[in-house]
Amino acid sequence: MTITAAADGSALGNPGPAGWAWYIDDDRWAAGGWKHGTNNMGELKAVLELFRATSGVDDDLLVLCDSQYVINSVTSWMPGWKRRGWRKADGKPVLNVELLKELDEAIAGRRYRFEWVKGHVGHELNEAADERARAVATAFQRGAPIPTGPGFVPLDGAPVPAAPAVGVASEPASPSLFDLADGGDGRRTVTVDLAADEWARIERRARRAGVSPEELLRDLAARA
How does pLDDT run across 46-70, given as a tens digit for each residue?
999 999 999 999 999 999 999 999 9
Whether 74 is in a domain gets the answer yes
Whether 149 is in a domain gets the answer no
CA distance 29 to 153: 9
Which of the following is catalytic: 19, 37, 42, 130?
130
Strands in 99-146 per DSSP E? 112-116
Structure confidence at residue 186 (pLDDT): 52
Tell me, yes or no, if 182 is annotated catalytic. Answer: no
Whether 159 is in a domain gets the answer no
Tell me, yes or no, if 59 is annotated catalytic. Answer: no
Which of the following is catalytic: 58, 90, 109, 120?
120
Please, are residues 122 and 1 in contact by the beta-carbon 8 Å criterion?
no
Whether 162 is in a domain gets the answer no
Which of the following is catalytic: 66, 149, 179, 210?
66
Both 46 and 136 in one domain: the answer is yes
Last residue of some domain: 98, 127, 142? 142
Last residue of some domain: 142, 163, 188? 142
Whether 23 is in a domain gets the answer yes
Both 198 and 99 in one domain: the answer is no
Q: What residue numbers bound the domain in which 101 lies?
A: 2-142
Q: Which residues of the chain have pLDDT under 50?
A: 159-183
What is the count of structural domains for the chain? 2
The pLDDT tens digits for 165-180 are 333 233 333 334 444 4
Which of the following is catalytic: 8, 49, 179, 203?
8
Both 110 and 22 in one domain: the answer is yes
| CATH number for position 72 | 3.30.420.10
Tell me, yes or no, if 130 is annotated catalytic. Answer: yes
Structure confidence at residue 202 (pLDDT): 75
CA distance 184 to 114: 53
Structure confidence at residue 214 (pLDDT): 72
Structure confidence at residue 180 (pLDDT): 44
Whether 55 is in a domain gets the answer yes
